[in-house]
């Protein structure tokens, strides 16, 4: 009896339900579509801790974990968000409603496994949202550079002071022990120069072959694109030219007055290697995504081209080297006191080089993974969510309408009477 009543009520209202369901669906669809859309953006960075050996891998993992935790807390801090807003000319005090609202819409997390940190942010204006996320990361990178510079500054000052003291003692010792500088004759210079030029020619041929071999692995248009960038007139190589000239000049002096095994030459080779690594890293960051082709092949071409550039500078300096070129001091082996000072000096120079490497490579610890890009489609309302909410509104309307019809027809009153009759007297 009750089921028949329910079916009858629904049948009587079928036209009413269908008609108004269409109206409610399209009305809901229209209203939801006119809600201000919200756009979601994401950006991420990678943290790295370099300068460790394989033996200290466990320690490296611990330090990286601590570094990630500290960096996440920095990004969550009010200070960093406030600095980013000020850079974008948004004057929102930390306790203002606008500032709090922005922070509530921001999510910062570390992606596991790995050392990647991601910021996700939702806002009505996609360009401003992407700009804010990227600016926060940039503020973090700038702060990281300042912290590292401050950290190494005190150590540098102390080491430079100690180096000056050692060099003063060396100079005094030289004056007391007389002439200890060996000058090479013309025939010796020519013999050594020819020897090193021959070795250098072999290195140049090998490097050119490696570059051409990598070119063969690429398409012609990819080779054309990379050749447009890798020229001696490249702005980055021009910037690095003076540094390479300085290091190679000292290296040529050391080779012509000694050999590859002298401490001075070994130390200079380390400095040149670090400078080449620095140049290649910058090239990868600046041009890596601009040049088409496999990333590993493009990276190898950068490595060998920078090596070729450095070898060509060395070749020019070797050809120009003459007897009038100031030779590097070679001290007698019997001067034990002088050798002790020299060892101590080299030790401080190595420490200073490590610190200078940290200062010159501020991006080795924090680097971009993906910069935030303004999305074309909002995250709410989407087409699916709009249709889903509109259908939900229709279902709610039908449910309420059917229950009102049942109530008017006394369906619920009959149900109460049946319960009352079922109770024992």
Over the stretch 61-94, which tens digit does the pLDDT of each residue have? Answer: 555 667 788 888 888 999 999 999 999 999 889 8
Query: Domain residue spans in the chain?
Result: 2-34+398-422, 39-141, 151-366
Q: Which of 45-49, 70-74, 335-339 has the lowest mean pLDDT?
A: 335-339
* Average confidence (pLDDT) over 35-51: 77
Q: Is the confidence at residue 144, as pLDDT, over 50?
A: yes
Q: Which are the contacts of 310, defined by CB distance < 8 A and separation ≥ 6?
A: 244, 248, 272, 276
Q: Which are the contacts of 125, defined by CB distance < 8 A and separation ≥ 6?
A: 39
* Average confidence (pLDDT) over 30-58: 66
> 28 with 389: CB under 8 angstroms?
yes
Q: Hey, how many other C-beta atoms are within 10 angstroms of the C-beta on 116?
A: 16
Could you give phi then psi for residue 185, rounded to 5 degrees?
A: -80, 170
Report the distance separating Cα 178 and Cα 97, nearest Å.
78
pLDDT on residue 361: 42
User: 235-257 and 295-320 helices cross at what angle (nearest 10)?
Assistant: 50
Beta strands in 53-175 (DSSP E): 106-111, 116-123
| pTM of this structure | 0.43
CATH of 39-141, one of 1.25.40, 3.30.70, 1.10.287, 3.40.1360: 3.30.70
Over the stretch 239-278, which tens digit does the pLDDT of each residue have? Answer: 888 888 888 888 887 787 667 887 888 888 999 999 999 9
* Average confidence (pLDDT) over 143-162: 78
């Amino acid at each position: 009896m009750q089921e028949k009543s329910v079916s009858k009520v629904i049948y009587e209202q079928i036209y009413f339900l269908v008609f108004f369901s269409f109206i409610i669906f399209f009305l809901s669809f229209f209203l939801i579509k006119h809600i201000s859309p919200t756009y979601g953006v994401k950006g991420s960075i990678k943290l790295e801790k370099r300068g460790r050996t394989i033996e200290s891998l466990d320690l490296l993992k611990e330090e990286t974990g601590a570094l990630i935790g500290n960096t996440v807390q920095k990004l969550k801090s009010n200070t960093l968000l406030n600095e980013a807003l000020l850079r974008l000319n948004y004057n929102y005090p930390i306790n203002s409603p606008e500032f709090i609202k922005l922070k509530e819409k921001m999510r910062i997390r570390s992606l596991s496994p790995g050392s990647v940190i991601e910021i996700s942010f939702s806002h009505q204006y996609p360009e401003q949202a992407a700009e804010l996320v990227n600016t926060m990361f940039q503020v973090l990178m700038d702060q990281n550079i300042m912290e590292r510079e401050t950290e190494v500054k005190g150590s540098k000052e102390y080491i430079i002071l100690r180096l000056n003291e050692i060099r003063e003692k060396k100079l005094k010792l030289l004056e007391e022990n007389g002439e200890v500088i060996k000058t090479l004759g013309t025939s010796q210079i020519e013999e050594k120069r020819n020897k090193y030029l021959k070795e250098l020619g072999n290195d140049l041929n090998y490097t050119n072959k490696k570059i051409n071999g990598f070119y063969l692995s690429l398409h012609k248009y990819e080779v054309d694109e990379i050749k447009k960038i890798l020229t001696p007139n490249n702005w980055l190589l021009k910037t690095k030219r003076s540094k390479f000239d300085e290091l190679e000049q000292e290296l040529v002096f050391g080779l012509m007055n000694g050999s590859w095994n002298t401490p001075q030459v070994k130390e200079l080779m380390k400095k040149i290697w670090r400078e080449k690594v620095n140049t290649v890293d910058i090239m990868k960051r600046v041009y890596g995504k601009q040049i088409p082709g496999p990333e590993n092949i493009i990276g190898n071409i950068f490595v060998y081209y920078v090596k070729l550039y450095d070898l060509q500078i060395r070749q020019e300096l070797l050809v120009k080297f003459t007897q009038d070129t100031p030779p590097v001091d070679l001290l007698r082996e019997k001067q034990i006191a002088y050798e002790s000072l020299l060892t101590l000096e080299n030790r401080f120079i190595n420490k200073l080089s490590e610190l200078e490497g940290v200062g010159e490579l501020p991006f080795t610890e924090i680097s971009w993974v993906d910069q935030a890009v303004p999305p074309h489609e909002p995250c709410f309302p989407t087409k699916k969510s709009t249709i889903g909410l509109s259908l939900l509104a229709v279902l709610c309307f039908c449910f309420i309408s059917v229950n009102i019809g049942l109530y008017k027809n006394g369906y619920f009153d009959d149900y109460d009477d049946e319960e009352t009759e079922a109770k024992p007297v």
